[in-house]
Amino acid sequence: MTQGFYEQFGIDPVAGTEEIRAAYRRLVASLMKRRKNLLDQGGDTSQIDLVCSQADEAWAVLSDASRRRRYDAMLALDNGDLGDGEGLWQKAAGALVPPAAAAAVELLSAITTLEVGEMQQPPGQKRPPPIPYDEAKTVPKLQPAVTAPAPPPIAMPRPSRPGTDIDEVATAPLDEKVFAERLRTVDPVASSVVVLPATQKPHKVIPAEDIARMVDHHGYTGSFLSAVRQAREIEIQDMADTTRISARYLQAIESDAFESLPSATFVRGYVREMARMLDLDVNAVVSGYMDRFAP
């Protein structure tokens, strides 16, 4: 039988958020070490990966107050006697949808064509009768439009002296010298014309032998990731823009500043994206780095 979320972490149901967080990190760190040892022996890690995903799911539920409340209510109903309908409602009422949300669902069902599930009424209560539709209360009465007077005609000014006829201007020959002077090359520095940036150059290629030497020297650490990034001539901000990871977290990973990083789930994803951008062995880098991650 699958363990409950509290049993997975080895904590009591009354544990606080910080205690749950610490238990989650301990469990993930232990699983990562076991996974690495199993990989070194050529074993199958699918079972450990399954336990990791279950731990992530447990943390996602227990770290969210509303989801944890519903989970606790489910445990109470599962472990106790359901009894009559009124007693069941008293146990589950705190974890169900609030009345305001229920009213919003009813409103959506009435005024839209969205497929919204029907809200169940508490025991002993009846559904209120529907409010009849009154068009006079919903459609505003428009006042008749008032026709504005037509504006006076605009008097065109007359020239004070005779000028060049428009036909003469249209048929006049083009001065090629003046036209050529006006076709200047746009200076992207001095001109206000927006000039699109040049295409980003590809990352520098590093021989596999150099990467192997970096692994021997640094191990799968933050300094290894930093060395590969600098060797490929990638700026930290360029990596942040490409991976959509905060530059602050990237710098913390490269510095092995574990206390400045979020939970192991997020760090594992960050390291995976960094390794993918640096063209490294993603599984080896993630496993090696998370082996040292000590939240």
d(CA 135, CA 138): 5
Tokens 């006076």 sit at which residue? Answer: 152
pLDDT for the residue 140: 62
The 3-state secondary structure of 114-134, one letter per residue? CCCCCCCCCCCCCCCCCCCCC
Q: Which CATH number fits domain 5-95: 1.10.40.30, 1.10.287.110, 2.60.40.420, 1.10.10.10?
A: 1.10.287.110
Least confident of 154-163, 233-242, 265-274: 154-163
- Tell which residue, 225, 221, 213, 284, has the closest CA to residue 258: 221
pLDDT for the residue 188: 46
d(CA 58, CA 24): 9
pLDDT for the residue 243: 92
pLDDT for the residue 152: 75
Q: What is the pTM of this model?
A: 0.35
Residue 1 has pLDDT above 50, yes or no: no
Residue 241 has pLDDT above 90, yes or no: yes
8 A C-beta contact, residue 211 and residue 280: yes
pLDDT for the residue 189: 46
Considering the chain, what is the average pLDDT of its residues? 76
Environment class of residue 99 by beta-carbon count within 10 Å: exposed (0-12), middle (13-18) or buried (19+)? exposed
Least confident of 105-114, 202-211, 232-241, 245-254: 105-114
Domain 208-292 grouped into CATH 2.60.40.10: no
- Tell which residue, 50, 47, 79, 55, has the closest CA to residue 6: 55
The tokens describing 1, both together, are 């039988």
The tokens describing 51, both together, are 């336990």
Highest mean pLDDT among 90-94, 165-169, 245-249: 245-249
Specify the higher pLDDT residue, 149 or 249.
249
Domain boundaries, the chain: 5-95, 208-292
First to last CA, the chain: 30
pLDDT for the residue 190: 44
Specify the higher pLDDT residue, 141 or 263.
263
pLDDT for the residue 194: 45
pLDDT for the residue 268: 92
Residues in the chain: 295
pLDDT for the residue 16: 92
Tokens 């910080």 sit at which residue? Answer: 18
Q: Do domains 5-95 and 208-292 have the same CATH topology?
A: no
pLDDT for the residue 247: 92
Give the CA count within 13 Å in the CB-facing half-sphere of 44: 3
Least confident of 28-32, 74-78, 125-129, 154-158: 125-129
Tokens 């009465």 sit at which residue? Answer: 141
